[in-house]
Amino acid sequence: MCSNTNLFANSYISSSRIIYTPSSFARTSLLHLQETGTLQAVRPHVSSRQNLQSYLLLVVTSGSGYVEYEGTRYELKAGDLALIDCSKGYSQSSSEDLWSLKWCHWNGNNMPAMYNKIIERGLSLVFHPENSNVYTSLLDDLYKTASSDSFVRNALINELLTRLVTELMKETVYEEENLSESNTELEKIDVAEIKAYIDQNFASKLSLESIADRFYFNKNYVARNFKEIYGTSIGSYIQIARIGKAKELLRFSNKTVEAIGSECGYDDKNYFSRVFKKVEGCSPSEFRKLWTSRSYRAEKSNRK
């Protein structure tokens, strides 16, 4: 349910907001909305909060102001966004050039990990996206959905918040690609070539060192740029490629587990089984049995 405090006003601000109360299922299982709305400053003001179990996205649609967070004061102008972990406390204030804002507060069991990943990938607390309309449109949709009577409202809100987090993650790629002149278009092509090389040769004895040597780059440069562009380490990407191929062979071939492990770059059957179980939660034999039995049942059912 939601409490719509539409057209709230005092001597400092005029705002329209929805204070939303998600269902218990949404609170425990989905990304869920806490509050969303718009604000127009009537005069310069300061508001602050702390210890909120919430994440805030704030978009400046006109004017300018400031956000203070962890001892640093950031200036925001039209088109700027701020992404804040509200558990640490923050304050926001309009300048004399009175700002207007759109915002939402939200949370979810996985949000701490998502937020940390976004920050880890280099997104600044305050940033200027290439297209802020993407965010304002999502905030508008959140407001409309939260104020609707849809019986799947919480699911729709989860979908919109997931899209919001996805856009923020995309923003980290945009920022990383423009960090410095050293990250040129040619160098990004080289990283793509490295990925293509791994895709074609994952069963070989690959390592960061051997890949760096092959492409004549410093291994630290290769590791850093690969992770910036693809969001994972080279070692992890090699493992994903190997396990993906192993799953395909387990399902659609009669080769032994040992032969499949060897074909995917694991000469030691026991080591292959340990890595496979760590990734998939079951052994290669168990994986094959689960998926083969399902296929058999489906075929048997089709013959009736």
- Give strand pairing partners of 107: 32
3-state secondary structure of 110: coil
pLDDT at position 295 is 39
Let me know: does 95 contact 77? Beta carbons within 8 Å. no
- Cα–Cα distance between 142 and 234 in angstroms, integer? 38
Report how far Cα 86 is from the mean position of its chain's Cα atoms. Answer: 18
pLDDT at position 10 is 61
pLDDT at position 51 is 86
Mark the ranges of the chain whose per-residue pLDDT is less than 70: 1-11, 173-189, 293-304
Per DSSP, 232 falls in state: S
pLDDT at position 262 is 93
Give the predicted TM-score (pTM) of the model: 0.64
pLDDT at position 84 is 95
Handedness of CA 131, 135, 138, 143 (dihedral sign): negative
Per-residue pLDDT reduced to its tens digit, 145-184: 999 999 999 999 999 999 999 999 888 754 444 444 344 4
Please name the residue that has the structure tokens 């102008």.
Answer: 77
How many other CB atoms are there within 10 angstroms of residue 270's CB atom? 10
